[in-house]
Amino acid sequence: MDNYVETLKKVLTNPEGFYSEMPKSGGYQEPLTFAAINFAILGLLSGIVAVILSGASATSIATTLIGGVIGGIIGLFIGGVILFIFFKIFGGSGSYEGTVRIMSYSSAVNVFAWVPVVGGIIGLYGIWLNIVGGKHVHNLTTVKSAIAVLLPLIILGVIVALMMAVIIAAIAALGLTELGGM
């Protein structure tokens, strides 16, 4: 646990130093263990907040904890593929393993993501951690790393906005059809 706390502090307070010294290979065990602890903390504390704020059952804590860890680890591998592709598009020289390592360590922000309101703001710092990691692991400029990290988020935002527009249009069309039939 001492190693965890020291790693957490270094990632959050000195990401440039952390990512410049981080091994770019060496297996997934250490970074995934670090991430699993972060996801467990997020799941546990989010579950407790849900119980307090909404009166959810205590079993929701266990569900949030287990689902958070499993979903978080799966998300690291899927997100790793996406980021790896974008880093490569912008000339990155790092590996997929290095990209998963970046994301695993940037999950440090999850220790604070459970706090209402603060969680969304701390997520922005998580994006910055991925940018700094991409710069060091893939040997990119900060600008290229930022574009590689932000572009998938922008694309996802556009897709979600289009899907919402289609859903709203469909609901509006149904409402107009129903009104026309009166």
Q: Hey, is 27 helix, strand or coil?
A: coil
Cα 60 from Cα 141, distance rounded (Å): 43
Contact 98, 76 (CB under 8 A): no
Segments of the chain with pLDDT less than 50:
none
Predicted local distance difference test score (pLDDT) of residue 180: 56
Structure tokens at 84: 């790896």
- What average pLDDT does the structure give for the chain? 91
Predicted local distance difference test score (pLDDT) of residue 182: 53
Predicted local distance difference test score (pLDDT) of residue 85: 97
Predicted local distance difference test score (pLDDT) of residue 1: 60
Predicted local distance difference test score (pLDDT) of residue 55: 78
Cα 92 from Cα 84, distance rounded (Å): 8
Total residues found in the chain within this entry: 182
Q: How many domains does the chain have?
A: 1
This prediction has a pTM of 0.87
3-state secondary structure 68-117: HHHHHHHHHHHHHHHHHHHHHHCCCCCCHHHHHHHHHHHHHHHHHHCCCC
pLDDT tens figures, 73-112: 999 999 999 999 999 999 999 999 999 999 999 999 999 9
Predicted local distance difference test score (pLDDT) of residue 52: 85
Predicted local distance difference test score (pLDDT) of residue 57: 78
Domain that holds residue 110: 2-180
Predicted local distance difference test score (pLDDT) of residue 54: 83
Cα 67 from Cα 9, distance rounded (Å): 26
